[in-house]
Copies of this chain bind each other. A is one copy, B any other.
Amino acid sequence: MQILDEKSLKRVIQVRPLNSHKGNFGKILTVGGTRQYGGAIIMSTSAAIHAGAGLVSCASSPLNLTALHTIVPEAMFIDSTVAKELRQAVAAADVIVIGPGLGTSAHSLEILSTVLQSTHKEQFLIIDGSAITLLADNRELLALLHGLQVVFTPHQMEWQRLSGIQISAQTNAQNLHVQQALKATVVLKKYQTVIYHLDGSIAQLKTGGPYMATGGMGDTLTGIIAAFLGQFHTSTPEQVVDAAVYIHSAIAAELSRSRYVVLPTDIIGKLQEFMLHALK
């Protein structure tokens, strides 16, 4: 088992080629954010933009339009309640995040189905939060993942729902067994997060700490993973996911030197600077 460290980040973050444009750094689509959880998808979107994605669209409820534009005017907006608009946005993306603040209503399920039906195998699909719960409760949808490049980012309870493994029984062996059957990368978020890769390798995070125990942390991580998958093409997807998971906690660790708790928006605000440091 590999321990994530600064080298995990440095091997992924590269000096950008001089003659490049925003199309080279990924078109990201984030999908989620009901009335109750609008902030979740906004944080995911803002994280993707600050982590260097070329173009980022956020598909959400129109209720979240103004807060999104105010926090991060660089983002574009898609009305997730209009299936046709959502399908077109999915088709145009390189990386899709589904789940932050999506909720578990019938309407949430419809959005998830639309996204899964529209995703194709050249794209990366990051499945987070309530989208994982919805999949666990509607297992017929799992067939739609067949052949797709999927990254799941569950916390332990969500992983229990999806994998059927009780939290207390979530050993690496058990987790790997189910993850390999899912043919997806699994980022299991917990104290010392573990990543189960497609090739059967395991990576573990020793960075970060309890100053990160606040709502929205996971949402922010999804945006970083998406931005990294969209822009770093000289590393394997395994290495890219490792780097994204590491930087999220490494920034928090750095910020914890000056604050008791670290908020997700604090981490977002430091991404640009921290990514530059990784080049040095």
Interface pair A216/B73, CB less than 8 Å apart? yes
Distance of A9 Cα from B55 Cα, bound (Å): 30
Distance of A90 Cα from B60 Cα, bound (Å): 26
Within 8 A of B (CB), among A32-60: 35-40, 42-43, 46, 49-50, 52-56
Interface mask (A266-280 → B, CB under 8 Å = 1, otherwise 0): 100000110110110
A10 CB to closest chain B CB (Å) equals: 13
Residues of B within 8 A of A262 (CB): 272
CB within 8 A of A74: which of B17, B66, B78, B263? B263
In the complex with contacts A50-B263, A261-B275, A209-B22 CB distance below 8 A: no
Residues of B within 8 A of A19 (CB): 191, 210
Distance of A209 Cα from B16 Cα, bound (Å): 9
Interface pair B73/A265, CB less than 8 Å apart? yes
Interface pair B215/A22, CB less than 8 Å apart? yes
Residues of B within 8 A of A16 (CB): 209-211, 213
Interface pair A73/B39, CB less than 8 Å apart? yes
Distance of A77 Cα from B35 Cα, bound (Å): 7
Interface mask (A142-184 → B, CB under 8 Å = 1, otherwise 0): 0000000000000100000000000000000000000000000
CB closest residue in chain B, given A56: B215
Interface pair B73/A210, CB less than 8 Å apart? no
Interface mask (A63-87 → B, CB under 8 Å = 1, otherwise 0): 1111101111111111100000000
Distance of A21 Cα from B25 Cα, bound (Å): 34
CB closest residue in chain B, given A17: B210
6 example contacts (A-B, Cβ-Cβ < 8 A) are as follows A16-B210, A19-B191, A21-B191, A38-B73, A42-B69, A54-B215
Measured CB to CB, the residues of A under 8 A from B are 13, 16-22, 24-25, 35-40, 42-43, 46, 49-50, 52-56, 62-67, 69-79, 155, 190-191, 209-211, 213-217, 256, 258-266, 272-273, 275-276, 278-279
Other CB < 8 Å A-B pairs besides A64-B69, A66-B70, A76-B215, 9 of them?
A16-B210, A19-B191, A20-B191, A39-B75, A49-B215, A53-B214, A71-B73, A258-B273, A261-B275
Please provide the 8 A-B residue pairs with the shortest distance between their CB atoms, ordered closest to farther.
Answer: A39-B73, A259-B272, A260-B275, A16-B210, A67-B69, A52-B261, A260-B276, A19-B191
